[in-house]
Amino acid sequence: MTRKITLPSGKVVTINERGDIVSDSLETKPSTNDAVSNAQKALNTIKQIREAGYAGDIPGNVDLDDFLHQVSSKTVPQPPKYQTGNEILDETLKGVREYLETLKAQGMKLNPAIEITPEVTQRFINQAETELSPYYSSRIKVIKNDLNRNLETLNKQYLSQKARAETEFRNSLAATQEDFADRGLTFSGQRQKTEGQFGESAGRYFEDLASSFAEKGREFGTTAERTLGSRELDGLTSPSITTYKPEIGTDFNLSETGSRSLFSPESGVVGSLEREKLAAKKARELELEKAYRQNRALTFY
């Protein structure tokens, strides 16, 4: 009766009942140290493969050293990277690939023959845009119309208050001048001083009036811009209000000094509705991609 034993050196020999070695050749069994060394070598090779720029899955049945050589010599195809130059398209492609990676991580087997190309993704983008645009276009139109109406109303209110104040100042000046005349002070220094103070007060009033309405216009416009975004308000024609200064003589008159726009859009503002639309489009694009795979039985096999 014989049996095999492992020597401290790692060699395996066959002995008989008396302890004599009866095998002509010695078998070698890998030691634990050899296994650890081989594993470490494999890890180092995988690290070199990644450092060489390969980001895909490494086949389990390949020689790692040979695979590293192929990667280094650019004979192994790299995973596709979509850079179309279209930010929204690239972002959608990224989302689709993340979706596929999630399925793979969950243990679902993907059909390797299926690839979502930029052309297919563009179809999803176009369909999502077609479906969502009417809704968002109507909301944009309502907000723009409200803004234009509010600015026009402000302009009319400004002109109305300006005309009313002009009449009141004119009547007040006439009453003051009449009082000085009744007292025989028509050409007095006191009258000149009073009229000077009257003109300064009127000037401050009309300056404050223009500033007040310009600020109201800015508030209306800023609210709309933060909702729609700067691009939607590009080319907006905003009404302007005329600014005035008083002229005091034998009568009270106003002369134009310039104009102030009720609202001028900023640049680079991304509106809340704009962000909402982008998010809705991306969500719809992913829904279309998922339905596309399921309907054509392309997701699993």
pLDDT in tens, 104-147: 666 655 554 556 778 888 999 999 999 999 999 999 999 999 99
Lowest average pLDDT, out of 24-33, 191-200, 241-250, goes to 24-33
E strands, the chain, where?
Answer: 3-6, 11-15, 27-28, 240-248, 252-261
79 and 147 within one domain: no
- 120/245 same-domain check: yes
* For residues 248-262, average pLDDT: 93
Same domain, 258 and 111: yes
Residues 160 and 260 both lie in one domain: yes
What's the pLDDT at 24?
Answer: 47
Instruction: Give, as one character, the DSSP assignment of residue 109.
Output: P
The domain boundary, picked from 71, 86, 101, lies at 86
Q: What is the number of structural domains in the chain?
A: 2
Is there a single domain that holds both residue 45 and residue 184? no
Look at 109 and 299; give whichever has higher pLDDT.
109
Nearest CA among 16, 18, 21 for reference residue 7? 21
| Cross-strand bridge partners of residue 3 | 15
* Together in a domain, 95 and 183: yes
What are the beta bridge partners of residue 245? Answer: 255
Residues 81 and 93 in one domain: no
Task: Please tell me the chain's helix, strand, coil percentages from 3-state DSSP, rounded to the nearest 5.
Answer: 60, 10, 30
Which is more confident, 161 or 296?
161
User: Are 112 and 226 in the same domain?
Assistant: yes
Of 65, 86, 107, which closes a domain? Answer: 86
Amino acid at 9: S
H/E element holding 201? helix 189-228
Residues 132 and 270 in one domain: yes
SS3 call for 133: helix
Q: Residue 8: its pLDDT value, please?
A: 47
Domain boundary pick from 52, 86, 120: 86
CA atoms within 13 A on the CB side of 25: 2
**Is the Cα torsion angle 196, 198, 201, 203 positive or negative in sign?**
negative
pLDDT class of 56 with cuts at 50, 70, 90: low
pLDDT band per the 50, 70, 90 thresholds, residue 69: confident
pLDDT tens across 190-238, in order?
999 999 999 999 999 999 999 999 999 999 999 999 999 999 999 888 9
| Residue 66 and residue 122 share a domain | no
- Same domain, yes or no, for 291 and 174? yes
Predicted confidence band of residue 267 (pLDDT cuts 50, 70, 90): confident
Find the domain containing 168 and state its range: 87-301
Residues 220 and 166 occupy one common structural domain = yes
Over residues 30-45, the mean pLDDT reads 61
The whole-number pLDDT of residue 128 equals: 92
Q: Report CA Rg, the chain.
A: 42
Residue 281 pLDDT level (bands cut at 50, 70, 90): very high
Q: 81 pLDDT band (50/70/90 cuts)?
A: low
